[in-house]
Chain A
Amino acid sequence: NAGVTQTPKFQVLKTGQSMTLQCAQDMNHEYMSWYRQDPGMGLRLIHYSVGAGITDQGEVPNGYNVSRSTTEDFPLRLLSAAPSQTSVYFCASTPRGGPGEQFFGPGTRLTVL
C-alpha cells in the first residue's frame, strides 16, 4: 500500500490564483481530513469527510472547498489564493467512521506571493 499520498510536494502561487491540492489513500479509509500547519499554531482542521459524498467544515474552512466523490480521493481547492494561505497542508485518513488513529500524508508546502 502507498498509504496517503499528496501532490504536489511544493507549490508557489500568485495572489488570486486557484489550485487544487490532491490527496489519495489506498487503505479504504472512511474518514479523511485536511489540516494546515503554521509555526506556533499546531495543526488546524480545515475540512473533513466521514465518508464518500459527505463533507463538513473544520476550524478554518474559509477560502477552501472540498469534495469527496470517492472513498480514495479528497481534493482541497483554494478558490482565490491569498498570502495568509501560505502554509504546509497535510491530508490524513483514518480507518473507522470517526477520527481514530490518523495516517498523515507527507504534506504540501504552499507559498502564496
Chain B
Amino acid sequence: GQQVMQIPQYQHVQEGEDFTTYCNSSTTLSNIQWYKQRPGGHPVFLIQLVKSGEVKKQKRLTFQFGEAKKNSSLHITATQTTDVGTYFCAGKNTDKLIFGTGTRLQVFP
C-alpha cells in the first residue's frame, strides 16, 4: 500500500536557526497537505499543495511539492520557540489521506 515517510524523525535547533523536514511517498500523489501538532494537542492544518513544482509561503514557512508529485518539504526560516511541535505531511491518493511519520521539532531559546 501507499507509504509516506518523513525525515528526520527528530530535530533540535537553537532559536533563530533554520529547519527543514522532508516527505517522500511511494506513489504519486494528487495533493499533499501539511499539519502541525503541538505537544498534547491535535493536528492543525497548515497548507495544501496541488500542482507539480508548487511553492507556497506562509510568513517564515515555505512549502514545496516535487515535480514528480512524490515528495515535499517544509522549511522554517529563523525558528522561534512557538514553532515547537510535530510536523506531518499527508498525501492524498484517490479518496484516502495517508499521513507521514512526522518530524518532531524542539527549539531551544
Contacts and interface: CB of A to CB of B under 8 A. Distances in A.
Interface of A: 31, 33, 35, 40-45, 48, 50, 56, 58-59, 90, 92, 98-107
Contacts of A50: 95
B34 to A, nearest CB: 11
Contact of B99 (A35, A40, A106): A35
Contacts of B45: 101-103
Given A50-B95, A99-B97, 10 more contacts: A33-B97, A40-B9, A42-B100, A45-B97, A45-B99, A48-B95, A58-B96, A98-B95, A102-B35, A102-B45
B68 interface: no
B101 A42 contact: yes
Which of A41, A59, A99 has the most chain B CB atoms inside 10 A of its CB? Answer: A99
User: What 6 pairs across the A-B complex have the smallest Cβ distances?
Assistant: A99-B97, A43-B99, A104-B42, A42-B101, A101-B45, A42-B102
A99 B43 contact: no
Interface residues of B, number: 21
Contacts of A31: 95
Contact of A99 (B6, B42, B96): B96
B43 A43 contact: yes
A44 to B, nearest CB: 7
Contacts of B1: 59
Nearest to B99: A43
B27 interface: no
B98 interface: yes
Contacts of A33: 97
A50 B96 CA distance: 10
Which of B6, B35, B44, B95 has the most chain A CB atoms inside 10 A of its CB? Answer: B95
Given A98-B95, A101-B48, A41 B42 contact: no
B35 to A, nearest CB: 8
26 contacts: A33-B97, A35-B99, A40-B9, A42-B6, A42-B101, A43-B88, A45-B97, A48-B95, A50-B95, A56-B95, A58-B96, A59-B1, A90-B43, A92-B43, A98-B92, A98-B95, A99-B95, A99-B97, A100-B48, A102-B35, A102-B43, A102-B90, A102-B97, A104-B44, A106-B42, A107-B42
